[in-house]
Amino acid sequence: MDKEQASPRREFIKLTVVATCGTALCKCNKPAGSMESASEESTIKLLAPDGSLVEVARSQITPLPDDQLITGMAAREGIPGKRFVMVIDLAKCNNARACITACQKMHYQPEDKEWLQVKLMKDSEQGAPYWFPKTCFHCDDPPCVKVCPVDATFKRDDGLVLIDNDRCIGCKFCMAACPYSTRVFNWDEPDLPEEIAMCTSSPETSVPSQVGTVDKCDFCPDMVRQGKLPDCVTACPNGVFYFGDEVEDTVTNGVETVQLSQLLEDRSGYRYLEELGTKPRVYYLPPTDRMFPYERSLEDLSEERKAMYKDII
């Protein structure tokens, strides 16, 4: 890990290389075995971090060392100089649920475990319903971190609230304390592919899920370290999620990159349940000038699913 911190750039190139080679870079850094088999003296085109294409001999490519994974104390420190934020544009959400699926795929979660949820909300009787994607808010004053008896869930310098699944004793106090119902418990042994279940656990990947411990949205810091956006951001067909850094005052949804402060000013960004004083790191843009009428997203749903929203519609 020290090595990793010493030369983040070199690691970064390696990561990009591996990723571009098409090796599925498993969240948990499983050994990239397929790489070695292709060791003829041919070359391969790769994307360098600055965006240019380079050609590299296949033999030059080294598989990722296992210690690439940020674990232990290093995972508690955070990425230096960053303060991650997210902005969610409620005007654009039509309950496509691509974010949920992407998140589940990335974290090897079954269909019924949603770290990221999309709720149908209505603020007042006369008000119009709207779709409300909800990640972990990574609060600056997180009630869940306060109550954890063993420091399994912690707040990092870069603003993230993460869980060390090797430390969590599963007391569920954080779940009771979280006002946003963000956390998900592993009530039984998670159904994981063997190589995933075996790999080293890291708070940065939140993989693998462990029975009797708590999981939640982690803002994918492992992706960020690779210079990528969290999967929910890139998966959303409508560009609802803007992810970025408060220090740089920039957020991006993968298509457009905007100034955070300007966006919040122009669109009257707010934080959900501000009055609770938890200081979330997720901002919402009110559903003005909507791109989709909310009803349209209901049309294809089964009656069973529609019944979930009976209090709203």
Q: What residue ranges bind ligand SF4 (CB under 6 A)?
A: 147-148, 150, 152-153, 163, 168-174, 214
Binding mask 213-232 for another protein (x = CB under 8 A): x-------------------
Shorter beta-carbon distance to ligand SF4: residue 6 or 73: 73
In the range 154-213, which residues lie near another protein by CB under 8 A? 167-173, 175-177, 179-181, 183-189, 211-213
Question: 163 contacts which partner out of ligand SF4, another protein, none, CB within 5 to 8 A by kind?
Answer: ligand SF4
CB 183, min distance to ligand SF4, A: 7
CB 193, min distance to ligand SF4, A: 24
- What is the C-alpha separation between 112 and 132, in angstroms, rounded? 18
121 binds another protein (CB under 8 A): yes
Burial class (CB in 10 A: 0-12, 13-18, 19+), 22: exposed
Shorter beta-carbon distance to another protein: residue 128 or 169: 169
- What is the C-alpha separation between 1 and 269, in angstroms, rounded? 38
Report the sign of the C-alpha dihedral through residues 125, 176, 74, 21, in that order: negative
* Assigned token pair, 197: 């279940």
Residues in the chain: 313
* Assigned token pair, 260: 């955070």
Shorter beta-carbon distance to another protein: residue 180 or 241: 180
- What is the C-alpha separation between 218 and 272, in angstroms, rounded? 18
- What is the C-alpha separation between 165 and 167, in angstroms, rounded? 5
Shorter beta-carbon distance to ligand SF4: residue 25 or 207: 207
The piece of 30-38, 63-71, 116-124, 288-296 that touches another protein (CB under 8 A) is 116-124
Shorter beta-carbon distance to ligand SF4: residue 103 or 168: 168
* Assigned token pair, 258: 């905007």
Beta bridge partners of 46: 54
In degrees and rounded to multiples of 5, residue 62 shows phi and psi of: -105, 140
CB 6, min distance to another protein, A: 29
Shorter beta-carbon distance to another protein: residue 148 or 161: 148
* Assigned token pair, 162: 């993460």
Q: Please report, as ranges, the residues that interact with another protein according to CB under 8 A.
A: 112, 117, 119-121, 134, 143, 146-152, 167-173, 175-177, 179-181, 183-189, 211-213, 273, 276, 278, 304-305, 307-309, 311-312
